[in-house]
A and B are shown apart, each in its own frame.
Chain A
Amino acid sequence: MSLTLFEKIWQSHLILSGKSQPDLLYVDRIFLHERTGSFALKSLKDRGLRVKNPKHVFATMDHIVDTFPGRGDETLMPGGKKFIQTMRELANEFGITLFDINDPRHGISHLISAEQGIALPGNIVICPDSHTCTLGALGAIGWGVGSSDCEHALATSSLAGNKPKQMQIIFSGELNEGVNAKDMMLHLMEKYSVSGGAGYAIEFSGDTIDNLPLENRFTLCNMAVEFSAFTGIIAPDQKVFDYLKDRPYSPNKTWTETIDYWKSLHSDENAIFDKVIEIDASQIYPSVSWGLSPEQSIPIDGSIPNLHEISNPDKKEELESSLKYMGLKSGQSLMHLPIDAAFIGSCTNARLDDLRSAAKILKGNKVSGDVLAICTPASATVKRNAEKEGIDQIFKDAGFEWREPGCSLCFYAGGEGFLPEQRVITSTNRNFRGRQGPGVRSHLASPATVAASAIAGKITSSKEVMKK
């Protein structure tokens, strides 16, 4: 029987399956962070349960910890310290490997699980975090869950679930200059809505994906959840194998046999997908979101939809409400809209390639006047590697703050954040109402677009800045 890549992995992890109950699947790796992982461990402890296999469980501090240089357990977020300390105490108690705040391997969970060779092709990796799908770029099933399901996985090394439907998204052709995986996903959601992937596991394929650098593939899979998909996945190839070789937790001793197995991880030729979407890569342009959902995005030189052209009254009301919050007008263009802040960070777009693409634009330029510009590399390793290349100096010379890894500026948890009505161009994943702080107006874009806009002091494309 022909299977998709996702189905192959699902099948190889099947412990039990029955007609009137969900499948029970083996879980290879569990990653925790202090925001939700602390809940799962605390609840496990309160029930008197143990962690079934602590060797396969890892933890980091990424959600609550501040990003200022010299940060520690104290946080600007009221009560944040308690989350951090609870995570640390319980990780110790249960014998879980913790990448603590000052550990050289520290960083955002979805980054370091790849960097350390913890998440591998053909694995099922779970984390109580919706962006776990990022790991699909390695050919793993990255399965985002809530705290209770995480607790289940900790106690049993398994998870119950119904197999999702299968979708294939084929990108063909060459990407335009300055287009990043972020633009690909904003384009996808603009066309097919944010609920377009609901109920499906999505395999990204096509020659555009084959040619896409691995770091961009992480960005692509990362935003599968914004498309409401179960997860996103890409068949692992030589780029993935090269990336994982000699990583601390990679199976380096059995490398050759392992690669043989990993090479079988692709959809069969006759595999049946319940839905196929084809996208012409040449039609994708650098994009920016204008509203309160990632689907409310447009090519950077396009215009916001005109309210007069929308007939559905509910849709119209939704757009009106988004426009009001964002301080924008129907039909307006985004190009040259003044900004107050620019942010490069998060699990979506703060890898080395992302920082390089921004540095190319920032080099020899200065951030405009009062624009607050911040960069938080996604992990300590990314930060060190960027510093080796002198990228930190380019950012600092341009007027960017060069900070420590963490997620905190992607969502406002009561500590670090932006101010009400500030317009922020951001390399993150969610432009929800109040996501980066009450009243904050977030515009999602690629790191290159964020860098270009920071220099111009207004939303602008990297092409325009490079011209000058």
Chain B
Amino acid sequence: MNWSESFIAIAAPLLMDNVDTDQIIPSREMKTISKKGLRKGLFANWQYNYLDGKQIGKNDDFILNKKAFEDTKILVSGKNFGCGSSREHAVWALKDFGINVVVAKSFGRIFKNNCARNQLLTIELADEYIDHIGDLLVRGEIHNKITIDLKKQTLTTPENKIINYEVDPYLLGMLLKNQDFIDRSLSYEESIDEFVRKDKKIRPWAYL
């Protein structure tokens, strides 16, 4: 994903609050020790119909199953998106479907962090913006696309209204430079070792 260029993509409204990571991908869909192929389990409770607990085909009413939303790259949701379990599979499943951006009123802490580690952009907007964008997307009268410009930190709605947002400057830098956060911290190894040397004198009991 090249974040230095702006892009326009289909945005799907999923407007409820508290979409927990068990909904994004239920535990039963995390079948292998691999990050690939998880789109099959994405929103599995909604993506499929069930009879006696068994999947019996796709649920045509679910937004991401609709023809107009099959190339969705942006999700728009309510408060506390991604709350609950720490499973990073939630992020991997969204990415596997092709979703690169989630715009919401707020996010679960661990989920938001997991997104940052996987180059998935989270944008927090005030309630009235989300309600407005959600309304436009649900009515679908103009079109279902949103433009994201990370460099300028702007989002353009289907009616061409520009909304500003703020991304943590550290994360912004990491995304734009496609930097790896573990490599970055490994470069601080000397500082870490120096801390440990001093800390062993202050908190000797904390070391085994």
A64-93 interface (Cβ within 8 A of B): 77-79, 82-83, 86
Check if B161 is an interface residue, CB within 8 A of chain A: no
Provide the residues of chain B in CB contact with A462, threshold 8 Å: none
Q: Given the known A-B contacts A42-B33, A148-B118, A430-B22, are A420 and B50 also in contact in the complex, defined by CB atoms under 8 Å?
A: yes
Contact B204 A78 (CB under 8 A): no
**B87 at the A/B interface (Cβ < 8 Å)?**
yes
Asked whether, in the complex, the Cβ of B86 is within 8 Å of the Cβ of A36, the reply is: yes
**Interchain nearest-CB distance for B194 vs A (Å):** 8
Cα(A249)–Cα(B22), bound, Å:
34
Q: Residue A20 at the B interface, CB < 8 A?
A: yes
| B15, B50, B182 pick with most chain A CB within 10 angstroms | B182
The answer for the CA separation of A304 and B27 in the assembled complex, in Å, is: 29
Binds A, one of B3-11, B57-65, B76-84: B76-84
B114→A12 contact, CB < 8 A: no
Contact A439 B53 (CB under 8 A): yes
Let me know if A122 is at the binding interface, CB within 8 A.
Answer: yes
Asked whether B186 is an interface residue with its Cβ less than 8 Å from the other chain, the reply is: yes
Residues in B with CB closer than 8 Å to A420 are: 50, 52-53
**A21 to B188 CA separation, bound complex (whole angstroms):** 13
Taking CB atoms, residues of chain A closer than 8 Å to B45 are 433-434, 438
CA–CA, A294 and B42, complex, Å: 23
Within 8 A of A (CB), among B39-93: 45, 50, 52-54, 78-80, 83-88, 91
Are A194 and B208 in contact, CB atoms less than 8 angstroms apart?
A: no
Q: Are A314 and B16 closer than 8 Å at their CB atoms? A: yes
* B203, A156: Cβ atoms closer than 8 Å: no
Chain B: CB-nearest residue to A158: B192
- Picked from B17, B27, B185, the residue with its CB within 8 Å of the CB of A318 is B17
Chain B CB count within 10 A is highest, among A78, A146, A254, for A146
- Asked if B20 CB lies within 8 Å of chain A CBs, one says yes
Is residue A22 contacting chain B, with contact meaning CB distance below 8 A? Answer: yes
Residues on the A chain within 8 Å of B54, using CB: 438
Instruction: Verify A194–B182 contact, CB threshold 8 A.
Output: no
A28 within 8 A of B: yes
Known: A160-B181, A195-B80. A12 touches B113 (CB 8 A): no
- Say how far B130's CB is from chain A's closest CB, in angstroms: 11
A contact patch SS? loop
Chain A binder among B95-103, B104-112, B140-148, B152-160:
B104-112
CB distance from A90 to the nearest CB of B (A): 10
Residue A38 CB within 8 A of the other chain? yes
Cβ < 8 Å to A, chain B residues 155-197: 168-170, 173, 181-182, 185-186, 188-189, 191-192, 195-196
Min CB distance A9 to B, Å, is 11
Quick check: A314 and B86 within 8 Å, CB to CB? Answer: no
B-binding segment of A372-380, A395-403, A406-414, A446-454? A406-414
Shortest Cβ-Cβ A-B pairs, 6 listed: A251-B205, A148-B117, A146-B114, A146-B88, A414-B28, A258-B205
Can you name 12 extra interface pairs (CB under 8 A) apart from A145-B110, A194-B83? A20-B170, A130-B84, A146-B86, A146-B113, A146-B117, A151-B182, A254-B205, A261-B205, A314-B15, A411-B22, A433-B23, A438-B54
* 22 pairs from A and B in contact (CB 8 Å cutoff): A12-B202, A15-B192, A36-B88, A39-B88, A82-B32, A145-B113, A146-B88, A146-B114, A155-B186, A156-B182, A195-B18, A195-B83, A198-B109, A249-B208, A251-B206, A257-B204, A261-B203, A412-B26, A413-B28, A413-B30, A414-B28, A433-B23
